[in-house]
Structure 1
């Protein structure tokens, strides 16, 4: 595939449109008062299977040949891409093999099974995930789809911001959480295409701040620990996401665990919607740096709402 760019997103959007929801944008006067900004929330927690990853999974599947789809697909994921690929595969009649770390939330494992995916549990390390996915790929001939680094996945994830900027073209900033980088890379591509004046900013926990360090060092950094409540952000940047982020993203805000919990609680209590910890990281970043965003129009992509209610932090 040629270098990724935002001009590819409109065609991608038209391909996946029959399979996804166009999610709503919500506001909260109280959150505007607290932050001093005019905040718009793109609610991907209302997406099919509860997260933006339905977009990328669907586009990646539609981009495979009929012959490839007949052999099935395999991925490794802590939860949301696992569910997204399972549901997208079910809609297209494709077998989905899903490698999940043993520590993945039960609600996400249950979702995979309900959507028809076949789970293979492994140790909660990137090495174990890759090894298990490779073994399945060799044994079955299934196509491997990376949850964040696959170019077709990145373009699919960018359709959330594509919709967002169609509804609100005058945003000053868009904040997204950063894990593997698929969402922020896709968002940056969409913004560069629709309105280059929009600054895309990443947010991530201090506990897994590999993207922040990668931007500083100019090379992909890893994490020695994954001790964060934001279970969807424990992965690291990839060979396709990092170049896009380096080109378009100038800033990543890091937040503490208690700030994530506070932001999550604020959304639950005041907006009356369910968001998972990884989603709350973006609002936590806005709250932490509120003076920077004062008086600006700030878009936040709420990445998902798949919460294990048995593990609520409040």
Structure 2
């Protein structure tokens, strides 16, 4: 079996392009939106008070200039980018093993909700039985959404270790084939089609002009690794990752600082789609400085502030996980200084991926009540 490092060598822009050709009939081409109000807010220096307690305390706040382009995967099928990877992985599985075997055995995965719904949708569309292991604390709408596509939902604890133990039990009973939620070649290629699409949409507006940066959330790392794979032969566009910092959810950022992948995460961050450690294959991509420039982390309050702006100023419905990239642009002084230094008076054109919109009015009410 190939090692993660060997598999990473096969993750190329061409592999992402091939994935797009396969999944196009099954996924939406989601909008790429702009918002002058958020451009202006992000381009305004933070107050000195906001830097108190940081390494930038007492220094003059950065004056970056942002031009945002929001890739709205919250408007993707099942409300998240995960539909891309799930359809690609299942279609490749049928290609490799044959339709008869896949339909006889069915597929299984574990997920807090977005990959769960995505695989349930893909399996329903392609007439394959699906078993989905979900944490008991998953958002009720995500559980309901998964069941609505005919999947059998089995509950587990909230950590990845607990989820994987239940998956092993169900596999022993059913012989179902595992479709990993993020640490998988075909999942990564599918998620990378987000980048292919947003670059094409940007080019439709600006011709040969190139994006300066793309920033995505990082949970298991499939989206970030896929986006970085697509842009790996386009060095003029830098790729960044964003995580919550609450209770160690910033495992990728910490791992990069330590030079070693963090293997386990136990956090109840409001960004419930980002509670998992970065996968082995994803780590090979994200830890490569030539592919991902850096990963930054934001607090729960910063996530809520960014979410409020998207809801109230853009009128776009997002879940907390979706806005960590925007929160980095708004509040992380290190990132803001980078944009100021490298963007100068022109500033940076930054694509921010809104990864999903699977939350409820009740959950939002609790966040802001």
Answer whether TM exceeds 0.5 for this pair: yes
What corresponds to 2:172 in structure 1? 138
Whether 1:187 aligns to 2:233 is no
Please name the residue that 2:286 is paired with.
245
User: Which aligned pairs between 1:86-235 and structure 2 lie closer than 5 A?
Assistant: 86-169=120-203, 170-193=210-233, 195-207=234-246, 208-223=249-264, 225-235=266-276
8 Å CA contact 1:209–1:223 kept in 2: the answer is no
Q: Which has the larger radius of gyration?
A: 2
Q: Which moved more, 1:241-250 or 1:50-59?
A: 241-250
**Aligned-residue CA RMSD (Å):** 1.3
1:51 is matched with 80
1:302 aligns with 2:342: no
Distance 1:68 1:214 in 2: 39
Q: 2:323 aligns with which of 280, 286, 289?
A: 280
Taking the aligned partners of 1:133 and 1:225, their CA distance within structure 2 comes to 19
- Give the whole-Å Cα distance in 1 for the aligned partners of 2:76 and 2:279: 25
Question: Any idea what SS the aligned residue of 1:180 has?
Answer: coil
8 Å Cα contact 1:68/1:143 also seen in 2: no
User: Once the 2 structures are TM-superposed, how far is the Cα of residue 224 of structure 1 from its aligned partner?
Assistant: 5.1
Structure 1: gaps (5+ residues): none
User: SS of the residue aligned with 1:168?
Assistant: helix
SS in 2 for 1:63: helix
Q: Secondary structure at the match of 1:270?
A: helix
Q: Distance in 2 between matches of 1:293 and 1:300?
A: 14
Matched, 1:33 2:73: no
**Aligned position for 1:14:** 21
Matched residue, 1:60: 89
Q: How far does the alpha carbon of each residue in 1:85-128 deviate from its partner, in whole angstroms, 9 at most, with x for none?
A: 00011000011100001011101000001111110001112222
Residue 69 of structure 1 is matched in structure 2 by 102
Instruction: Please report how far the alpha carbon of residue 67 of structure 1 lies from its aligned counterpart in structure 2 after TM superposition.
Output: 3.7
Alpha-carbon separation, structure 2, partners of 1:28 and 1:139: 51
Pick which of 117-126 and 171-180 moved more.
117-126
Q: 1:268 to 1:126 in 2, by over 3 A?
A: same
Gaps of 5+ in 2: 44-65, 204-209, 341-346
Normalising by structure 2, what TM-score?
A: 0.82
| Contact in 1 for aligned 2:159/2:276 (Cα 8 Å) | no
Change (3 A) 1:185 1:11: same
